[in-house]
Amino acid sequence: MKTKEKILLCSCLWAACATCVPAIGADNTRSDATDEQAETQKTEKKKRFTIGGYGEAVYSRNFYSDSYLRYNSAEAAARVKDEKHSRFDLPHVVLFLGYDFGKGWSMGAEIEFEHGGTESAVEVEEEEGGEYESEIERGGEVALEQFWIQKSFCPEFNIRLGHIIVPVGGTNMHHMPTEFFGVYRPEGENTIMPCTWHETGISLWGQAGDWRYEALLISGLDSERFGRQGWVHDGSASPYEFKIANRLAGAARVDNFSVPGLRLSVSGYVGNSFHNTLRTPNDTYDDIKGTVTIGSFDFHLDRWNWVARGSFTYGHLTDSRTITQYNQGFSNDSPSPKQSVASDAIAAGVEVGYDVFSQIRKLREKGQKFYVFGRYDYYDSMYKTASSILDYDYCGRARVAVGVNYYPIKDIVIKGEYAVGLMKSYFNDEPSLSFGVAYSGLFDI
């Protein structure tokens, strides 16, 4: 090796070592500058891992019957008119995990425990000859609601692959308990659509200036799961260990933030559902598609100490009469509800709240908020039906609610609400009083 090359190599090695080895002072201690640099590196390393989530605990006193017969007839409604019931619930407790691998690659996962999760136990039954018996001790659900890998090229273009949220409607996109006033999620969208809707597929999304977009290619809904009271709500679920994907679907969302404090959004979904089933229909049904089309508009205004949110969602299902007849032909042990399904469903709702603490300087300076709100919903899972399909009147209703939301800090809210479900015809109205506490945020670890 030539002398000049040796000198250059030694210089490079020394420079590399100098950047890795802490600077040592005359007293054989690290310099303040190095301590600060090490602390910064430690902080940056922490930020690569994110943990957070949200959760709700609620109590409801329902001043109406929960009998399954209450919608059967006028006589049944009269018999249960004065019945009441109460319940505690943990609607959603969610843990979010995220990790930044670097170079634009990241991961996200969300594990949800609905209604407290599930529990079972094995017991020895003394009254049954000492036999072992397995019992379900708690009903609920545990679900992996999100799991995706993302590659970010720039703010305007990102690719996400895996199990992802379908952002159709206001609630699916903004479903954390600090993002709506009611003790429970808004009833309308939560009735006629999967909520929170999550599917496996690919998403392209990004934001440029005041515009954000997202487009998804995902597995389609399963028409065997459709029913009268929830329309296509259960179509995204699968009773099997896998999700059927004989048919794919598309979804999209566009948000605009041009006006300060205001978000305007449109979203939609389209996909065939009939052949997206485990049991393949015979050749007679080759032309049946069961196309589900959903369009939605939602908005959020947060300005002048007012918060207003609202949404309007309309859905249409083709071949609803054939799907009804087909599903009703299943055997009793089938996971299908074997119910009639409407051709059209609708959900609309709006809520408005004012922050009373904004007028009290000391509370305002502490960041506390106290909203007094009102909400109105109208929804009908059998808004329109094909000929020969019975329209069940109890599937359409209005709901009026008033209440308060107290935020002692940004990530925690205490809620109270009085609501009345306004029913059609001879059905009893459904008043209720609910209280809840919830949190939503990231944990600093």
Average pLDDT over residues 198-215: 96
With the CA atoms of 215, 216, 217 and 220 taken in that order, what torsion angle do they form, in degrees rounded to the nearest 10?
Answer: -130
DSSP 35-64: HHHHHHHHHHHHTTEEEEEEEEEEEEEESS
pLDDT higher than 90, residue 251? yes
More confident residue, 46 or 257: 257
117 band by pLDDT with thresholds 50, 70 and 90: confident
What is the reported pLDDT for 124? Answer: 57
pLDDT higher than 70, residue 199? yes
Classify the C-alpha dihedral 63-67-70-73 as positive or negative. negative
pLDDT higher than 50, residue 29? no
DSSP 390-409: ---GGGEEEEEEEEEEEEEE
Best-predicted range by mean pLDDT among 17-26, 241-250, 309-318?
Answer: 309-318
132 band by pLDDT with thresholds 50, 70 and 90: low
Token pair of 180 as six digits: 């709506």
Average pLDDT over residues 42-71: 84
pLDDT higher than 90, residue 328? no
5 band by pLDDT with thresholds 50, 70 and 90: very low
What are the helix (H) ranges across 280-374?
A: 320-327, 361-365
Contact, 258 vs 237, CB < 8 A? no
pLDDT higher than 70, residue 209? yes
Measure the CA–CA gap between 177 and 432, rounded to whole angstroms. Answer: 19
Average pLDDT over residues 201-226: 95
Strands 105-114 and 157-165: unpaired
Report the CATH number of the 52-442 domain.
2.40.160.10
pLDDT higher than 60, residue 363? yes
What is the reported pLDDT for 145? Answer: 86
Measure the CA–CA gap between 327 and 142, rounded to whole angstroms. Answer: 27
Classify the C-alpha dihedral 175-178-184-189 as positive or negative. negative
What is the reported pLDDT for 286? Answer: 82
Amino acid at residue number 324: T
Point out which residues pair with 435 in neighbouring strands: 59, 416
Contact, 222 vs 198, CB < 8 A? no
Share of the chain above pLDDT 90, in %: 63
Token pair of 241 as six digits: 């260990």
Measure the CA–CA gap between 375 and 396, rounded to whole angstroms. Answer: 17
Closest CA to 179 of 54, 46, 355, 47: 54
Give the distance from CA 75 to its chain's centroid.
38
Ordered by start, the domain boundaries in the chain are 52-442
Q: Which helix (H) or strand (E) holds 190?
A: helix 187-192
Tell me what percent of the chain is helix, strand and coil, each rounded to the nearest 5: 20, 50, 35
Average pLDDT over residues 219-231: 92
Give the distance from CA 118 to its chain's centroid.
20
Burial of 59 (0-12, 13-18, 19+ CB in 10 A): middle
73 band by pLDDT with thresholds 50, 70 and 90: confident
Measure the CA–CA gap between 423 and 407, rounded to whole angstroms. Answer: 33
The torsion angles phi and psi of 244, rounded to 5 degrees, stand at -65, 135
More confident residue, 111 or 8: 111
31 band by pLDDT with thresholds 50, 70 and 90: very low
What is the reported pLDDT for 119? Answer: 64
Average pLDDT over residues 335-339: 85
Tens-place pLDDT, residues 378-435: 999 999 999 888 888 889 999 999 999 999 999 999 999 999 999 987 889 999 999 9
Average pLDDT over residues 133-150: 77
Contact, 148 vs 164, CB < 8 A? yes
